[in-house]
Amino acid sequence: MIEHQYDLVVIGSGPAGESAAMNATKSGLSVAVIDFRKAVGGNCTHQGTIPSKALRHAVHQIMQFNRNPMFRYVADQTWLSFPQVLETAERVIQKQVSMRARFYARNRVDLFHAQAAFKDKHTLELTYQDKKVETIKAKNFVIATGSRPYQPPEIDFNHPRIFDSDSILSLDSTPKNIVIYGAGVIGCEYASIFNGLGLKVDLINPGERLLAFMDDEISDALSYHLRSHGVLIRHNEAFKSIEGFDDHVVLTLQSGKKIKCDSFLWANGRTGNTDSLNLAAIDLKANRRGQLEVDEHYCTQQENIYAAGDVIGWPSLASAAYDQGRSISGVISDNGTYRHVNDIPTGIYTIPEISSIGKTERELTAEKVPYEVGKAYFKDTARAQITGEEAGVLKLLFHRETTELLGIHCFGDQAAEILHIGQAIMSQPSESGGNSIRYFLEHTFNYPTMAEAYRVAALNGINRLF
């Protein structure tokens, strides 16, 4: 049996695993990365962030073409099939894999494409597809195995018309209608995608509102926008059973309602990929969602074993996972790059986008913070009028006495990009006056730009003070 020895072994090659490996090897540590796939990138590249966002972009381009009267001189409205737009995602995936593979080669990080399981706190057993077994030893480990869609045992996900958010990427035709169960981030994003392809979409929400963690007004804006484009949203509904037939699927809800559809997408919950790691061998136990508990340094109950990314739960964002992985290797190598990842912006790639950072109005009201609101509606900005992307609003929440920015919430085209301007100001020290809504009034913005919405929103907010 072959045996290998390293300073750090990372299980998983997604954003958390890759950043941990790259930062560690640049600090002089010997590093290996293990992934059961034959290609690097993790769930983020192959089944999650990259394919869904590439799909979304392709669909958005189709929608822009179809609603722009200028293009009627060129061609009539056109609709592409789901497999056609999926080709865009597949091209992006291949570019991402190729780029990331170069990272590992250039930085001399060893890659093992095998299934990993712990034997003890310093030893992993690797099992390859050909059943060959190797042993790998390390001083420290990072578990960055990601997550997968939760699959209730009573639902037959082997049925060709029943999908989760991973298997939907294998859909080889375009149904006339689809039911999506779950109105979180994934459910809302796919509702936008399929609606943009011209499908009839039913979005079933077990909760009271879409994206309940978002600012209420932004959540309402998304709900209104989806409904105005024909998406049927049903709140406070729980599924009772799902039956798959040769040519349709029937969803029965606990309220007694029955919904018939061509295809069904389950988008309600995810599970950490920890069940194959033999955690019992290292005295670790995942919670009921397959997630691991970590401290502020992302260390588990075993002092040499860390975890990052979706496998530790919230916020389950690729951006946060990347920073968490880098921070872990900063702790291990003591190279000064550690930071506890907080104040994380949220980017939701519906059509239009949603992005947010900081407090919501509901939170500030509950905390009895004297805040004020400044808004800029995209329809009133020259850039949005030029691009035709007029649906949206930028909302600034600020302290009415200190003018400190407390929350930024944006709904509209390029919201995830626009947000970072305000995020940079929010991160400035409040004591020196760096974090203030007045920044947007005291500095000149290019015109016409979407960034100008900050000036408009700041004026709107400041004019409310007395």
Is 241 annotated in a binding site? The answer is no
Q: What share of the chain is helix, strand, coil (3-state, %, to 5)?
A: 35, 25, 40
Is 310 annotated in a binding site? The answer is yes
Phi, psi of 200 (to 5 degrees): -80, 125
Is 231 annotated in a binding site? The answer is no
**What are the CA-CA distances from residue 387 to residues 150, 350, 384, 455 (Å)?**
39, 18, 5, 19
How many angstroms separate the CA atoms of 277 and 118, rounded? Answer: 6
| Orientation angle between helical segments 415-426 and 453-462, nearest 10 degrees | 50
How many angstroms separate the CA atoms of 152 and 160, rounded? Answer: 17
**Do the beta carbons of residue 96 and residue 45 sit within 8 Å?**
yes
Is 325 annotated in a binding site? The answer is no
Q: 431 CB contacts (<8 Å, ≥6 apart)? A: none
Note if the bond before 315 is cis, omega within 30 degrees. Answer: yes
Helix (H, G, I), strand (E, B) or coil at 321: helix
Strands 371-377 and 392-399: antiparallel
How many angstroms separate the CA atoms of 51 and 41, rounded? Answer: 12
How many angstroms separate the CA atoms of 138 and 31, rounded? Answer: 9
Is 356 annotated in a binding site? The answer is no
Residue in 360, 445, 462, 342 with CA at minimum distance from that of residue 409: 360
Is 48 annotated in a binding site? The answer is no
Is 184 annotated in a binding site? The answer is yes
Phi, psi of 339 (to 5 degrees): -155, 145
Q: Where are the alpha helices (H) located in 31-81, listed in sequence order?
A: 42-46, 49-67
Is 269 annotated in a binding site? The answer is yes
Is 388 annotated in a binding site? The answer is no
Is 372 annotated in a binding site? The answer is no
Residue in the block written with tokens 């484009």: 229
Residue in 347, 360, 350 with CA at minimum distance from that of residue 420: 347
Is 147 annotated in a binding site? The answer is yes
Is 146 annotated in a binding site? The answer is yes
Burial (CB count within 10 angstroms: exposed 0-12, middle 13-18, buried 19+), residue 229:
middle
Q: How many CA atoms lie within 13 A of 29 on its CB side?
A: 26
Query: How many other β-carbons are positioned within 10 Å of the β-carbon of residue 359?
Result: 20
**Which residues are known binding-site members?**
53, 145-147, 182-189, 269, 310
**Which residues are known binding-site members for FAD?**
53, 145-147, 310
**Which residues are known binding-site members for NAD(+)?**
182-189, 269
